[in-house]
Chains A and B, each alone.
Chain A
Amino acid sequence: MATASPREVPTDQANDKRLKILEATMKRHQYRADALIEVLHKAQELYGHLTEDRLLAIAHSLHLPPSRVYGVATFYHFFSLTPQGEHSCTVCLGTACYVKGAMELLAALEAESGLRAGSTSADRKLSLLTARCLGACGIAPAVIVDGNVTGHADPEVMRARVRALLDEE
């Protein structure tokens, strides 16, 4: 597995509350192989991203070959094998947003943050991401900052918000 993420040292695993929650999720699904995607959702929700060790542990628990778990985790866009920034800014690139100027919006945010879409700043402050339609087409163009959707997004206003997130102490 070729991931850039550092291996997590399982020091105080036993005390890790998140691990217990993940274990409970797998138990609720009776460790069935078909629950793999549900389990990966939970793991990502708990840890922010999926590490190699985590995937191996899940493979072991669900009695699946590691290749199968890695294959699923890398197939779906939702799962991330690299750490994400503390804040996230996602520009919707669905058709409705696209015809309403989402590309200009994205270009403005790339210029402001110095980041390319899909990357995270070196200090892990901000991830600049894109999405394939959030279903908020009625209020296009849409941008999500830390989970909150902004409709009719204006490039200048969004630039200022991104700047504020980057400058945050």
Chain B
Amino acid sequence: MMEFQDLQIMAEQERTRRKAIRIHCCTSSGCQASGALELFHQLQAAVEAAGQNERVDIIGVGCMGFCGQGPMVSVEADGVLFEHVRPEQAPEIIASLDGGPCNVKQGDHAHPFFARQMHIVRRNGGVIDPERIEEYIAVGGYQALYHVLHEMSPAEVIDAITRSGLRGRGGAGYPTGLKWATVAKSPGERKFVICNGDEGDPGAFMDRSILESDPHLILEGMSIAAYAVGADQGYLYVRGEYPLAIARLQKAIAQARKHDLLGSQIFDTSFNFRVDIRVGAGAFVCGEETALIASIEGRRGQPRPRPPYPAEHGLWGYPTLINNVETFGNIAPIITNGADWYAGIGTERSKGTKVFALTGKVRNTGLIEVPMGMTIREIVEELGGGTPDGTPVKGVQTGGPSGGCIPEALFDTPVDYESLAEVGSIMGSGGMVVMDATTNMVEIARFYMEFCMDESCGKCIPCRTGTVQMYRLLSKISAGQATAADLATLEQLCHLLRETSLCGLGQSAPNPVQSTLRYFREEYERLLRKRVTINLTSR
């Protein structure tokens, strides 16, 4: 049986077994694609060759965020950061520990990309080895769960989450505390907790990175939620496209079970909690909560009308709490540092931080976590460093196929749920794709509509046929074959889909079209066919 002292002993043992110098080598998907695994082995070999085994440890860590500069290596004690490291440079890095010459490209922690960030959910990313529970415990892991089980009632936990002001990070921004309270008071023989890791928005990889870098943080958050709402079974629904995240979660669950942090009578209390992984099979619509539930039940991922909401009638008809990965990632830090601390970060109605995947035509691509309320301009120009070749920025796209494009003129908009909605986009799950003057906005709208058309589940007619009609119209416009009447039809269909579709996929599918029409209408009009009479007279 795990006790609080055992946690402390484990943490202490882990700290004492640490060697003097820890070198972090990012082994997340992004850096692995840039050759990080080979580099990791070469670093180990270089330590061995230099006879530094007693002093130096090479740690495979989670995402450091600066994916465009990977593979990345950092030296813990002195904070030296290396970028674009090639495997053959490993001996050079090891030699540099003793003042040897080193020509490996060095990064700068003072760079705004790092300096302007604030890490809550990603605090362990790039610092601990995600495949060892001991490392998570050494940084205080599972102490929040202990505190909750022994010193707080479920109602007090829900109250703390409510007071923190945390809102759902999946995109919609529903107050997390309110959702928990609804599940807690819904009657049911059983209750379930589901973590939505079906990150389907193209251009978003926050959840992948969090799951790969700090799986125990999510398990701890889910456990606390389960205690608060009275659930004993959890499901982690992860995209099939994320094999590394799945492997690390499986490992983390096995380790947590072994140390009695998942299972029966956790921390010697009456609280039992099991977690199983469900692997998605490539259907974007499964990010919608009722479709996700259908998928866990082994059925086609098709949504159903709400209400009843899953909080009352969810998995197999039982009250079910569904939160996004990043939402669960905020739970343990809120319990540890207090609701007031969290409520002190961000803006009046959007508290805390948000993780964004900053990509596209921007110099510094990667993952960033910033306080709510930072402006888009600060993110794109300061953290992102503008476009790589100095081409003027045209806009950013947030929220994927459900979001919209925000033009450069509105870059002083602060990043919070309400402000982004006001300018016709959404917070979304956190994808932020930068577009420069060369990007064709009609093509972008067509790209997203093709996506929605392919991903429409086919259950409700407005979405099933509407997306096809809109895609055809956009293709026609793109090809220079459309008339003003086609454009008018397109706009009508936008309203129709928004008002009559069954779920969020269809309701928000017009967003990219509407926002590009709102801000870049001249690009559409330029493509409209000239009136036939003009062609005739010019002949």
Contact = CB atoms under 8 A, between A and B. Distances in A.
A135 B199 CA distance: 9
B67 A37 contact: no
A132 B30 CA distance: 16
B357 A137 contact: yes
B202 A94 contact: yes
B240 A41 contact: yes
Given A36-B298, A140-B365, A142-B33, A134 B359 contact: no
B33 A150 contact: yes
B34 interface: yes
Contacts of A96: 202-203, 357, 359-360, 365, 431, 433
Interface string A134-152: 1111111010000011110
A49 to B, nearest CB: 14
A136 B278 contact: no
Contact of A93 (B67, B202, B209, B295): B202
B447 interface: yes
A37 B200 contact: no
Interface residues of A, number: 39
B360 A100 contact: yes
Nearest to B279: A41
A96 B434 CA distance: 8
Interface stretch (A10-18, A72-80, A109-117, A157-165): A72-80
B297 A34 contact: yes
Contacts of A140: 359-360, 365
B341 to A, nearest CB: 30
B50 interface: no
Nearest to B285: A75
Contact of A99 (B204, B281, B439): B439
Contacts of A41: 240, 279, 281
B33 A99 contact: no
Contacts of B201: 133
B435 interface: yes
Nearest to B400: A95
A38 interface: yes
A98 to B, nearest CB: 6
B242 A135 contact: yes
Contact of B67 (A71, A94, A138): A138
Contacts of A75: 283, 300-301, 457
Contacts of A132: 200, 202, 282, 284, 451, 454-455
Nearest to A137: B359
A76 B278 contact: no
A131 B241 contact: yes
A91 to B, nearest CB: 13
Nearest to B67: A138
A40 interface: yes
Contacts of A68: 299
B282 A133 contact: no
B401 to A, nearest CB: 9
B29 interface: yes
Interface string A14-35: 0000000000000000001111
Interface of B: 29-30, 32-34, 66-68, 70, 199-205, 208-209, 239-242, 278-284, 295-301, 357, 359-361, 365-367, 397, 400, 431, 433-435, 439, 444, 447-448, 451, 454-455, 457
Closest 4 CB pairs of A and B: A138-B67, A76-B281, A135-B205, A94-B202
21 contacts: A37-B298, A41-B240, A41-B279, A68-B299, A72-B299, A77-B281, A93-B202, A94-B202, A95-B447, A96-B202, A96-B359, A96-B365, A100-B361, A132-B200, A133-B201, A133-B204, A133-B241, A135-B205, A137-B67, A137-B433, A139-B33
